[in-house]
Amino acid sequence: MGETPFESEGAAVLPWLALQQLLDSAIPIGGFSHSFGLETLVQEERIRTSNELEAYASAMLAQSWSTADAMVIKAVYRDAAAADWDRLWAVEKLVHVQRTAVETRVGVEKMGRRLLQLLGSIYPETDWTPLTNALRNGSSFATHPLVHGFACYRFGIPLNQAAEGYLYACIVTCINSALRLMSIGQTEGQSIIARLAPLASKAWLAASELEPEDAYSNMPMAEIAMIRHETLYSRLFMS
């Protein structure tokens, strides 16, 4: 049987296709401009080979992206149904303040706000006011994982797919950044993505046992790299 469309005042949206649009690396939200510390690690020769890159992305999956960002997505599905917005904004803030580097915090905010603006333009029939109002009054940062999670929730995408999709997007962003920073080709980059994709499901399965308020990140080397990025002599990326 086919997937049931999400009805939005006369507009039918197939959830799985809406998810593909959210995960498209070409979606114009600025992800192409951010390496989130990877540029520092490459310049300082801490990551030199494709194996080291794969190990780094795998660690980020297990110790940061799934245990921190994905917890915001989980909170959306828990709290939006009950309209418990204050509880949701509190989880977003908990995760966001754990981002040590200013560049990283700003980058995640920019991506989220651009995605929210884009969603409002291409899906105007959908109610985005809980996010837009919260951003306007300062209750929410409208970070990328929050907006991604809220969009998936509005489109009727199951939580597991929303979280795993976000983790996959993190992998793709990381590897696409590496393609511009390292001597690896497109085929090798796609091979790394293919090997890492199953780990997104495993990382989410492990992290899904956490409550959103238990969110944490345990990647100190990556956090230091994010902080040091703004002092690099030359930079391709904004963060």
24 found inside a domain: no
In a domain, 100, yes or no: yes
Please give the average per-residue pLDDT across 79-97, as a whole number: 97
CATH number at residue 166: 1.10.4190.10
88-93 mean pLDDT: 98
Task: Check pLDDT > 60 for residue 7.
Answer: no
Q: Is 135 part of any domain?
A: yes
Res. 1 pLDDT band, cuts 50 70 90: very low
Indicate whether 79 belongs to any domain.
yes
Summarised one tens digit per residue, pLDDT across range 131-158 is 999 999 999 999 999 999 999 999 999 9
pLDDT at 236: 86
Q: What is the mean pLDDT of residues 156-175?
A: 95
Percentage of the chain surpassing pLDDT 90?
A: 82
Share the mean pLDDT of the chain: 92
Segment 98-144, tens digit of pLDDT: 999 999 999 999 999 999 999 999 999 999 999 999 999 999 999 99
pTM over 0.95: no
Q: In this structure, is residue 8 part of a structural domain?
A: no
Contacts of 91 (CB under 8 A, 6+ apart): 71, 72, 75, 79, 212, 213, 215
pLDDT of residue 2: 45
Supply the range of the domain harboring residue 84. 13-18+30-229
- What's the one-letter identity of residue 181? L
Taking phi over 0 as left and psi of -120 to 50 as alpha, with beta for the rest, 69 belongs to alpha
Residue 38 lies in a domain: yes
Number of H helices, E strands in the chain: 11, 2
Token couple for 29: 């939200």
Q: Does residue 159 lie within any of the structural domains? A: yes
Confirm whether 1 is domain-assigned. Answer: no
How many structural domains compose the chain?
1
pLDDT confidence tier of residue 47, bands split at 50, 70 and 90 = very high
Q: What is the model's pLDDT at position 6?
A: 55
Q: What is the pLDDT of residue 235?
A: 85
